[in-house]
Amino acid sequence: MTVELPPPGTVLCALSDLDATGAKGISLDGNSGRAGIFVVRDGAGVFGYVNSCPHIGVPLELEPDEFISDLHNEIICSTHGARFNLEDGLCVAGPCEGDMLEPVAVKIENEKVVLA
């Protein structure tokens, strides 16, 4: 699934927005519908991905901003339970094992998560 991204430097969210769940869904169409992309935090790093499971193309989260496992160590697809590494989006278990989430380049600037 390809999404049209805003220009580099666009602020996606405050870094503190990731504190509650470890992740944040970002709607790219200006409304509060399903997230087009999401960012996750792993320690001091942040990683961005298109919100689409490589197995069947459905959004990953069941509830807003709920992308991370209860152990906070993997991204989970709520549809069929596929598990993905936080740092590279590689599917390590489930029907799409070996596939990857589509990355979105992000970075931290002034306590904000921005497109790189």
pLDDT tens digits for the chain (116 residues)? 667 888 999 999 999 999 989 999 998 766 555 679 999 999 889 999 999 999 998 999 989 999 999 888 999 999 999 999 999 999 999 999 999 999 999 999 999 999 99
Spell out the domain ranges in the chain. Answer: 11-115
The residue length of the chain stands at 116
CATH class, 11-115 region: mainly beta
The DSSP bridge partners found for residue 37 are 26, 50
Can you give the pLDDT at residue 30?
61
Q: How many CA atoms lie within 13 A of 44 on its CB side?
A: 1
- What's the whole-model pTM score? 0.92
Helix (H/G/I), strand (E/B), else coil: 84: strand
